[in-house]
Structure 1
């Protein structure tokens, strides 16, 4: 009986014979094999019959495996948080630095074919490193770095510009200034931030009270979808175009470029910085700031920084310093008049003010030395890269004076963690919360950024600083938004929830999704379900598809990670199942 069963199976199921054979010994490492397979796939998907071998050279110069001598340089050049540049950080199996749209399309299709995920990086400023690192070893991934997509085409006559996702904020400001002295764009103050992530998450800057966010001034875009198609606004449809203006582009595809509408800035703007410690009436200044900054003239943006400092190092005496950094879209005389009316407690005088051009104010906010020319904005590398952690909150009611007093005590007790208060109001709050995925508009007085950075190596320093940050965040609970406690996507924070498995379930996604997007989360989920139902574009905090469209039972972990087409995987899986059944009967 047993012998006849085996003989009949050998005739009916020849695949079993292959499965029983010992695996062939490969002469190359898994990394080299993957590199070769990916390179071959890229070439096959981009080469036409009339093309030359030049495309092969291009890919060999832009695709890096872990064994390549250029791999570390390609990975680390845009790492902006040293917490995710350690030996234990899961690294990408490959890094691709494409320069053509067709290369991006091929990369998406080849990644799907080979069972790899894509992490898209523009400037590398994702606070949790999700653009180049992973906290899950069960999701093998590649990094697709878009820094070659940094072309900026400014049309002054049409008051618009196409901006590549790999360009930086500083490069955008410089290219606008090259063409016009009376145009600008509302985006961030850090010049090395990449456009792709910055815009797709909202784009927050010091002109938001006058012109809104970056996403409020985007009129078109180009994206590579899960099927490798290059889509613009007309072909992607309004739902997807809505989603990638504040919902995070990495959940929906690979952003190639945005078309923006420029804004008009005056020839003269004014900046000032005023600092006070708790001993010099900082409490009253901060208390009044909460009422004034969100309600004053729309052309006036006053950022408030709170830092614990040491007064006398020998005695170890600590206090808190409050610093107001301001941009006013107008001259100093008018600014003085507004401040005398709205904020006399600040005691601003003409000597505190500096009049300058808008591009010079960009340099001032970027903390460049006096006299630095605009060309400095073209430098893509920051001065230094530290370990860091950031968190965020929204304040809807002013913090009372006694609350501020207790905050000073907490900050001096902790010693390092600081806060940045960014005022709302103006045009930002006049736009409906459903207009873009960014929901934090009317009703919010200001946004808080929690900030801590350190340069010391080792787990002890990291644990201490992370503990300080989380302690301060917990302390602020009574003073911030509730049900949900809200957060800003571009201040990425994995503490507020993560997808616990590679499947990125709807249940996990709703935990952090509602905090980032409030009432807009469900619409983002619907868009995701429509454009990427298999959840190919995913990370620890991506938008999940609806449960009914998620990857339930369609592929095993073997299929997800295999380099074979899914049809072949199903055949092999069925053969394995049959072989197990037959061999189980054979040995009974």
Structure 2
């Protein structure tokens, strides 16, 4: 009798091994069939596998976080370097046909590397690299532009200014960020208090959906057009290009950067800044960067120095801003200044696409009420004086941001005072360095809990953070209930609507990753 359980156990083990081999064989067969499907319609030179000499070069070309290219990281088994829409359509159709999931990369700036890596060691996936879909066509007579998702913000700024020095675009301060990811997440920057987010200025888009169809605004429908402007385009399809409204900037703008140490009342100034910066005139954007024991107050003013001095004296006299602090320049030059902290380099630096040489972890928050002085004092003493401290960034909202409905686009964070980011970046490899830096950024985040937004603790989706939670499957698709844990932090009440759109355009959840939008279960409608 004792032999029966042992025999049953051996049978179960044998069945498990056989099923595992079958699953492995099936996955390998799907991969081979997928590659064959690609090769039938896409030039071999654009299909990069690890056996291809240029695979590593292409993979690393848009890597912005070395945490996700360490040995052991799950990499794509193929990268498709698309050069035309048909290549994207083929990749999607072949992926659907052979059960291979696609991740789309425009600039590679996803903080958690989700456009080119996976946290699942068993996942077999392909990357669609849109870096060559970067054309920019300016219609100067209409102050509009069609921009490929593979273009960078720097390339867009440069092209807009080349067409007309009074053209600008409201988007982020980092010129190497890809247009595709930035716009699909919302897109906040120095002009947002005046003109709103990047997504607020999108007029049209071209998308390849889960069926491989090429759609524009009129054919995709209002729901999908709403979703891709702030809800993360990678969840709904592949956005190839965007038609955007260029905004008016004066021929001459003014910038300044004023540094104050802790001994120079930096804590007092930051405490006051919290209420002042969001209430400043819309033409003035004043951010704070805390780094190396100093607070830098950095501003862009859409006007000349004399008006800026008057405005600062009226609204923030304690900063002591004076005419000597002013630098007047073109708007496009100000985008150079904001990223490189100098205007003494050619504008062509905006066209560079250098990749990162550091490891990175970022967390972020939104603030509804000014944090008390003692909170800033504690933050500085406990965290900002540590050797591993890196960067804390404060960006003000207010202006037109507060006049746009939180449901106008998926980006719901319209009525906060400002957003916070905590950066930890390091250059040394190894577990000790990783744990030390991750501990710092997570410690800052934990200590700020009493002072930041609540129910939910709000986060901007373009500042991706896998600490908030990751997706789990339920019946072969992403669990809506599990995804709400992180999704409502990014999108608040808009999350359910995004899931409803997902159910319409990608009900089988083909476009998915660790934090993609799930389909809304039928019973939730």
Does TM, normalized by the shorter one, top 0.5?
A: yes
User: CA deviation digits over 1:402-421, x for unaligned, max 9?
Assistant: 22211111224543143111
Q: Once the 2 structures are TM-superposed, how far is the Cα of residue 510 of structure 1 from its aligned partner? A: 0.6
Corresponding position of 1:489:
461
Q: Does 1:378 align with 2:351?
A: yes
Rounded Cα–Cα distance in structure 1 between residues aligned with 2:424 and 2:335: 24
Q: 1:479 aligns with which of 451, 460, 464?
A: 451
Output aligned runs, 1:356-505, within 5 Å: 356-367=329-340, 369-382=342-355, 384-412=356-384, 414-415=386-387, 416-442=389-415, 444-501=416-473, 503-505=477-479
Identify the range of structure 1 (111-120 vs 239-248) with the bigger mean alpha-carbon deviation: 111-120
Corresponding position of 1:175:
159
Asked if structure 1 preserves the Cα contact closer than 8 Å seen for 2:74 and 2:123, the reply is no
Q: Does 1:332 align with 2:305?
A: yes
Corresponding position of 1:252:
236
How many aligned positions are there? 500
SS state at 1:293 partner: helix
Rounded Cα–Cα distance in structure 1 between residues aligned with 2:398 and 2:73: 40
Query: Stretches of 4+ moved more than 2 A in 1?
Result: 33-40, 368-371, 412-415, 500-504, 547-550
Corresponding position of 1:544:
518
SS state at 1:38 partner: helix
Rounded Cα–Cα distance in structure 2 between residues aligned with 1:152 and 1:65: 29
Rounded Cα–Cα distance in structure 2 between residues aligned with 1:264 and 1:506: 42
TM-score (norm 1): 0.82
Corresponding position of 2:247:
263
Q: Once the 2 structures are TM-superposed, how far is the Cα of residue 321 of structure 1 from its aligned partner? A: 1.4
Rounded Cα–Cα distance in structure 2 between residues aligned with 1:460 and 1:132: 25
Identify the range of structure 1 (363-372 vs 195-204) with the bigger mean alpha-carbon deviation: 363-372
Output aligned runs, 1:211-226, within 5 Å: 211-226=195-210
Q: Aligned in 2, Cα 1:549/1:489: closer, same or farther, shift over 3 Å? A: same
Q: Does 1:161 align with 2:157?
A: no
SS state at 1:115 partner: coil
Q: 2:69 aligns with which of 81, 85, 90?
A: 85
Rounded Cα–Cα distance in structure 2 between residues aligned with 1:68 and 1:87: 18
Asked if structure 2 preserves the Cα contact closer than 8 Å seen for 1:39 and 1:60, the reply is no
Q: 1:238 aligns with which of 222, 229, 240?
A: 222
Unaligned runs of 5+ in 1: 1-18, 47-57, 310-319, 551-588
Asked if structure 2 preserves the Cα contact closer than 8 Å seen for 1:168 and 1:193, the reply is yes
Computed over aligned residues only, the root mean square deviation of the Cα atoms, in angstroms, reads 2.0
TM-score (norm 2): 0.92
User: CA deviation digits over 1:203-232, x for unaligned, max 9?
Assistant: 111011000110010010000000000000
Rounded Cα–Cα distance in structure 1 between residues aligned with 2:251 and 2:266: 33
Asked if structure 2 preserves the Cα contact closer than 8 Å seen for 1:197 and 1:249, the reply is yes
Asked if structure 1 preserves the Cα contact closer than 8 Å seen for 2:31 and 2:100, the reply is no
Q: Does 1:68 align with 2:52?
A: yes
User: CA deviation digits over 1:54-74, x for unaligned, max 9?
Assistant: xxxx52001011222221111
Unaligned runs of 5+ in 2: 1-17
Identify the range of structure 1 (366-375 vs 208-217) with the bigger mean alpha-carbon deviation: 366-375
Rounded Cα–Cα distance in structure 2 between residues aligned with 1:348 and 1:203: 29
Q: 2:488 aligns with which of 506, 514, 523?
A: 514
Q: Once the 2 structures are TM-superposed, how far is the Cα of residue 112 of structure 1 from its aligned partner? A: 1.3
Larger radius of gyration: 1
Q: Once the 2 structures are TM-superposed, how far is the Cα of residue 37 of structure 1 from its aligned partner? A: 3.1
Asked if structure 1 preserves the Cα contact closer than 8 Å seen for 2:289 and 2:393, the reply is yes
User: CA deviation digits over 1:505-555, x for unaligned, max 9?
Assistant: 1112111110000011111010000100100000000100023499xxxxx
